[in-house]
Structure 1
């Protein structure tokens, strides 16, 4: 039986200077909102995922349309989520087209702004406008611990791509606070986790010993007191939430054990280790085929926790910077780097490798959707109350076309989105129409964004 009391949505678990946000519990909602979780009881969570270098153009599009469709072989990793996704065809980012050579940069930096970027080889960058994720973040201003979260796998690029005359700064960001201010992304799981769950510890130093007590240990007393006052459903949810945090802490700390090795070696060896480690940081992930699957999934686990706990309602994730040449030789049947393979010149072997790389990205996307779907919220799930876009800024890496972009939208938008469809819109329908629809779903009163011409009516209830 549920307790006849309510707690604040801003309730934190606190102890010994530490604090963590709670997930959305039934005790936080009014009796009226509990009657309709999916539309009224829970906030909309939004996530935008960027994959560089496009897709195999002949293997992406499903067969059939509307609800009567079959996923293509490339989209097979999403087969068990068919009813939870929308495959959106013929969307175009018109303002990603430049006269002359433009490569990837004009199709990445403005993926979420849908405005023309300023061509420059310097630091006077301009994305043309604020990105849709930041408009959503502004809408939720002061309602969450963090307005938005920006994650990825690659560090910021600098310098100039002399092939097209663009600064590489445009390669590293899809989130723009304003036209001239990109938001830097966090690429380290440890730092991403600590920022969310350990930033409330006054004066705490960087983690030196992975075996120090976790933040959960500091708040367990407060959690126990709170649990005694919750109904059975909320008690189970709180326990599941805390265990999820504990699981991620253990996984991250296990990776930190390598620090113990450094304390056992001589200063000369340590100096060499520092030099080699710096080289590894800058080059190994790109050129040596290092498997980044676990790192990606750790970041996704942290993102899911952030959305679940309402630490933030908006997140972006970049699988790689624009023109990413990450080596995917860790995949069976792949022998080479992403950007190089994307310039396949219609060679069958390269196109097959290109497709396998895309499938890996979709497997990670499916992992994140599954994570959200496993988290219960009222009578539904966190995925029911989320929208998660997967997209690339160009169709085919061999042609660099921003037409008929590969776009998937996961989640049900709080019951306001008609998922489970393959929709093929009129040719060159503005990508900004999707974002206008998205913002209206979130409750933002807007009828125009960038070059939008309206909303995507077939996706909206």
Structure 2
């Protein structure tokens, strides 16, 4: 692969990452004009998709019992107090994640939210098969929020090639796709994520006439021009598409009435939370290596909750780690190794136990996010009542790389459109896309199919 392209790709993603939020800066519409699209007492349904790499301990995940009469497994115990707010879904499968020949992880991550076959490549001609479900939802709300969608995570974009399977590592780093060939880069820095949304609204910060008045695009324009000289024609077109999108958004957002509408959403309670989160970020010092990343994770979830609460955005994704992540989890009691290594447990009891403890840590963070949403009052209910939050991995067992019976949980009530508080086991190999078709119905997207869906999961729809 061309070395210059490698350098340019990283710089481009970093450069685009600095402005990637800008395509999500959309005009704010009056809630009164949107009531027909809302599902619960005039409030919209928020959607979030959380990805955990490397699968789960296959024998400790599934609850006992079906329907509402079920008992959570030990692995799912962090969600015990949220039992009535979640769906545990069994036997769903992303059939296009089965790749002929060696793969392992990549064809089970990049298409988790597209449910379409990816193109095997070691180069930059990546293809996830189509648009991801989060972006379908973002398009549905286009123009109604300040940011159509937010993409967050903990790990930087991966580059290079996994020589074991012949896939570019770019597939490991994205679950959100604007279209088949355009992944959306994620923000991994809590400070940058917070400031892009709320810096100008934190009490005590110096007010600005328009926090988005200065074009961030202008700041990276010179770098973008030099990048184009190092890219092939197809990548030049992709970059230009990004830039044009940013230009369009900036023209719309530089309307004082848009910001005035958003500012009216920043209630005294939201301002108090802004101060708290802002202070926590100031106190947080990120260190790399097998250190505790719990606080960083929860800061990112705090920001996502604030974005939903203030209606800055109604769609988000979060990656706990890139595919094949080998994060050192030695900060957990009883764990002395790294995630991917332990996922290849070979049924060794000690490794399986550590593998399971890592999964439980992820579920504890998921529970934190659900609890945060549940603590926020909205109308006669809570923000969790008006949300859907998926927790999923692209494979079942990291040792076998099995994509069948995916570990999937959906939290929230979808604006009274989802019958939560159930453990449901479907027919073997039921398309994962059936969940997304059901999700679209709950949110109000008028589409009957998504990817390879064969219908809805009728048992979850109210």
Q: Report what 1:314 is aligned to.
A: 315
Q: Report what 2:16 is aligned to.
A: none
Evaluate the alpha carbon distance shift between residue 311 and residue 32 of structure 1 in structure 2; reply closer, same or farther with a 3 A threshold: closer
In 2, the alpha carbon distance for the partners of 1:317 and 1:154 equals: 10
Q: Which runs of 5+ in 2 are unaligned?
A: 1-24, 201-209, 220-258
Residue 198 of structure 1: how far off its partner (Å)? 3.1
Q: Report what 1:326 is aligned to.
A: 327
Q: Report what 2:294 is aligned to.
A: 293
Residue 39 of structure 1: how far off its partner (Å)? 2.1
How far does the alpha carbon of each residue in 1:145-180 deviate from its partner, in whole angstroms, 9 at most, with x for none?
A: 111000000000000000000000000000000000
RMSD: 2.5
Structure 1 segment 379-390 matched on structure 2, within 5 A:
379-390=380-391
Query: What is the TM-score when the length of structure 1 is the normalising length?
Result: 0.79
In 1, the alpha carbon distance for the partners of 2:312 and 2:389 equals: 17
Q: Report what 1:77 is aligned to.
A: 78
Evaluate the alpha carbon distance shift between residue 104 and residue 432 of structure 1 in structure 2; reply closer, same or farther with a 3 A threshold: same
How far does the alpha carbon of each residue in 1:417-441 deviate from its partner, in whole angstroms, 9 at most, with x for none?
A: 0000000001100000000000111
Q: Report what 2:147 is aligned to.
A: 146
In 1, the alpha carbon distance for the partners of 2:283 and 2:35 equals: 41
In 2, the alpha carbon distance for the partners of 1:72 and 1:440 equals: 30
Q: Report what 1:14 is aligned to.
A: none
Evaluate the alpha carbon distance shift between residue 250 and residue 69 of structure 1 in structure 2; reply closer, same or farther with a 3 A threshold: same
In 2, the alpha carbon distance for the partners of 1:121 and 1:247 equals: 44
Residue 292 of structure 1: how far off its partner (Å)? 0.4
Q: Report what 1:372 is aligned to.
A: 373
Q: Is the 8 Å Cα contact of residues 38 and 384 (structure 1) preserved in structure 2?
A: no
Q: Is the 8 Å Cα contact of residues 89 and 407 (structure 1) preserved in structure 2?
A: yes
In 2, the alpha carbon distance for the partners of 1:348 and 1:166 equals: 31
Q: Is the 8 Å Cα contact of residues 38 and 44 (structure 2) preserved in structure 1?
A: no
How far does the alpha carbon of each residue in 1:295-343 deviate from its partner, in whole angstroms, 9 at most, with x for none?
A: 0000000000001111110000000000000000000000010000000
Q: Report what 1:59 is aligned to.
A: 60
Evaluate the alpha carbon distance shift between residue 159 and residue 88 of structure 1 in structure 2; reply closer, same or farther with a 3 A threshold: same
Structure 1 segment 62-461 matched on structure 2, within 5 A:
62-198=63-199, 200-201=210-211, 202-203=213-214, 238-255=267-284, 285=288, 288-461=289-462
Residue 32 of structure 1: how far off its partner (Å)? 12
In 2, the alpha carbon distance for the partners of 1:186 and 1:177 equals: 16
Residue 238 of structure 1: how far off its partner (Å)? 2.4
In 1, the alpha carbon distance for the partners of 2:382 and 2:308 equals: 12
Residue 239 of structure 1: how far off its partner (Å)? 2.2
Q: Is the 8 Å Cα contact of residues 84 and 411 (structure 1) preserved in structure 2?
A: yes
In 2, the alpha carbon distance for the partners of 1:310 and 1:293 equals: 26
Q: Report what 1:214 is aligned to.
A: none
In 1, the alpha carbon distance for the partners of 2:183 and 2:32 equals: 38
Evaluate the alpha carbon distance shift between residue 131 and residue 30 of structure 1 in structure 2; reply closer, same or farther with a 3 A threshold: closer
Secondary structure in structure 1 of the residue aligned to 2:300: helix
Evaluate the alpha carbon distance shift between residue 37 and residue 135 of structure 1 in structure 2; reply closer, same or farther with a 3 A threshold: closer
Q: Is the 8 Å Cα contact of residues 84 and 410 (structure 1) preserved in structure 2?
A: yes
Evaluate the alpha carbon distance shift between residue 180 and residue 203 of structure 1 in structure 2; reply closer, same or farther with a 3 A threshold: closer
* Bigger Rg over Cα: 1
Evaluate the alpha carbon distance shift between residue 376 and residue 348 of structure 1 in structure 2; reply closer, same or farther with a 3 A threshold: same
In 1, the alpha carbon distance for the partners of 2:61 and 2:214 equals: 50
Query: What is the TM-score when the length of structure 2 is the normalising length?
Result: 0.79
How far does the alpha carbon of each residue in 1:95-148 deviate from its partner, in whole angstroms, 9 at most, with x for none?
A: 000111111000000000000000000010000000000000000001011110
Q: Which runs of 5+ in 1 are unaligned?
A: 1-20, 207-221, 228-233, 257-280
Evaluate the alpha carbon distance shift between residue 204 and residue 147 of structure 1 in structure 2; reply closer, same or farther with a 3 A threshold: closer
Secondary structure in structure 1 of the residue aligned to 2:317: strand
Secondary structure in structure 2 of the residue aligned to 1:124: coil
How far does the alpha carbon of each residue in 1:42-100 deviate from its partner, in whole angstroms, 9 at most, with x for none?
A: 00100000000000000000000000000000000000000000000000000000111
Q: Report what 2:237 is aligned to.
A: none
Residue 37 of structure 1: how far off its partner (Å)? 8.3
Q: Is the 8 Å Cα contact of residues 37 and 379 (structure 1) preserved in structure 2?
A: no
In 1, the alpha carbon distance for the partners of 2:298 and 2:32 equals: 35
In 2, the alpha carbon distance for the partners of 1:303 and 1:29 equals: 20
In 1, the alpha carbon distance for the partners of 2:141 and 2:52 equals: 26
Secondary structure in structure 1 of the residue aligned to 2:48: strand
In 2, the alpha carbon distance for the partners of 1:405 and 1:252 equals: 34
How far does the alpha carbon of each residue in 1:205-262 deviate from its partner, in whole angstroms, 9 at most, with x for none?
A: 99xxxxxxxxxxxxxxx99xx99xxxxxx9xx92221100110111112237xxxxxx
Q: Is the 8 Å Cα contact of residues 131 and 179 (structure 2) preserved in structure 1?
A: yes
Q: Is the 8 Å Cα contact of residues 85 and 411 (structure 1) preserved in structure 2?
A: yes
Q: Is the 8 Å Cα contact of residues 38 and 380 (structure 1) preserved in structure 2?
A: no
